[in-house]
Structures are given as structure tokens and as C-alpha cells.
Amino acid sequence: MIRLVAIATFAVAVAAALPVRAAVSQRDLAQVGVTTPPNATLPLDLPLQGENGLPKPLQAWLGTTPSVWVLADYTCETMCGPVISIVSDALARSGLRSGTDFRLIVVGLDPKDTAVDAARMKEAQIGPAESSAYFLRADSETIGGLTKALGFHSVYDREHDQFAHPAAAFVIAPDGRVTRTLTGLAVDPPTIRLAITEAGKGAVGSLADHIRLLCYGYDPARGTYSVAIGRVLAATSVITIAVLALLIGLLLRYERAARLCRGDAHRSTGHSRRTTTD
């Protein structure tokens, strides 16, 4: 039901953003979507400008923790703000630590957007005090390289200076690998927590999270995690084998201890008999 509401919200937002006689055709809209290539990796040398206007290579923005990336139009008045808010709220309620376990990175789709536009969007959606959230900007060539790597397809309406684009959030590992693509309007705290835990390769998340990842598989069609029967059976088999191995080890240890006790008792009895005979 949540996914259906999200899809309906997305459709309403797109419809509201386009006038009755839109400059963007249905053929253009058919190209909008996300098709992340297998084993996708972000170009680490792409220059992205921070809030102070100074560019740094993409690798510097990744840091040493998993990050969640969102592409947005900073002057958008329809769905960009809600998508950022939904992702930010899911991160805040995930139980993970901002800046330690993850960082949020938003990149502007429109190269004409200014630092003021980025700061206004950040303040409106998550508050300016969030130091581990970065709202970046870039030129058209850099944006094109980033969207190509992510498989993110949008259409620009020149007449109305608006973008028709998919709502998505990308979970990126510290080395730049795109580990998961999540449906932006359907992101929830458990889903984004598992995605970040998976991207962290053991450095993020609790033991319970890693156990859940053994039993949950990512469903790219739904953009979320669900119980995978095969994984559950495999995990159950591993646990069963481990328990059986432990029990066998304990039984062997007990039997060995019992044999030692019987041997000691036999030697003690024999010694006692010899002493009495003498």
C-alpha cells in the first residue's frame, strides 16, 4: 500500500508540474527513469562544488562511510523537496549515526542553480545545521557524467525551466560503488538502514542487521528488501550445522572426560589392592 501511495504521489506531482500543453512530450517522459548499470561505480575525479563554491573531486565527498545520494533541482517547487525530506527523515529514524555511519549528499541537476538556491533547499528540507549533509553543484558536463554512471535519465523542459526526473536515492560505498538504488518516495527507515549496512561491509550496523541481511534479499523491481526463502533456508542450515557441530564437540569432550575419570578410578583401585596385599 505504501508503494502504491508513493507511485500515486509521484504521478500527481509530475502532472502538477506540467502545464496542460506541456513542452515535454509523452515520448520524452517515456525516457525518464533509473536503470543503474551492473557493477556501477561513480567517476571519482568528477569535480563537485561545495556550499562555499570550491570544487573537490567526487572521491573527497565520499569520505570513509557509506553515503546516500539524491539528485534534485534546487529550484523545483514540486517533488524534489519532498523526496529529499523523505530520505532525510528515513535516515534520521534509521537508528544509524549521521556523519559516523553515513552521510547524505544531494547534487543539483540544473547547472544554473546557485549556492543560494542549494542553501535554501537544504534549510527548507533538513535544516542548515546538519553538517553531514552536503548540497553540491556542478557544471553540465559533470552532471552528465554523474547521471550516466547512475543510469539516471531526466528530461529538461526549456520552456518552463523544469526537469522531469525519477525519484530515487542511491546508496554508495566509500570506494564509489553503487550498491543499491532505492525508490525515493518509498524509502523507509528499515530499508535504508539495511542498504547502508550492506554498503558498509561490516563497518556499519549491528549484529542483528547483518543477520537480517542473511535472510533478506534486495528486490530491484520494488526497490526494497524482502524475506528471501532461499536465504532463510541457507541461514537456517548454517545455524543447524553449527549447533550440531557444537553438540558433537561437547559430547566428545564429555566422553573423553568420562574415560579419564574411569581410568583414574581403575588405577586408584589397583593401587589400593596392591597396598593391602603387601
Where are the chain's structural domains?
2-187
Fill in the amino acid letter for 202.
G
pLDDT of residue 264: 59
What string of pLDDT tens digits covers the 278 residues of the chain?
334 334 334 443 444 444 434 566 777 777 888 889 999 999 999 999 998 889 999 999 998 999 999 999 999 888 888 999 999 999 999 999 888 999 999 999 999 999 999 999 999 998 766 778 999 999 999 999 999 999 999 888 887 788 888 889 999 999 999 998 988 777 888 888 888 988 887 667 677 766 666 556 566 656 566 544 444 444 455 566 767 777 787 777 877 776 777 665 556 655 555 555 55
pLDDT of residue 20: 39
- Grid cell digits, residue 98: 549521521
pTM (two decimals): 0.70
Within 10 A of 265 (CB to CB), how many other CB atoms are there? Answer: 10
DSSP letter string, 39-76: T-B--TT-EEE-TTS-EEEHHHHHTTS-EEEEEE-TT-
**Whose CA is closest to 138, among 45, 211, 32?**
45
Homologous superfamily of domain range 2-187: Glutaredoxin (3.40.30.10)
User: CB neighbours of 170 closer than 8 A, spacing ≥ 6?
Assistant: 36, 68, 69, 70, 150, 178, 180, 181, 182
pLDDT of residue 11: 41
Burial of 266 (0-12, 13-18, 19+ CB in 10 A): exposed
> Sign of dihedral through CA atoms 227, 228, 233, 236?
negative
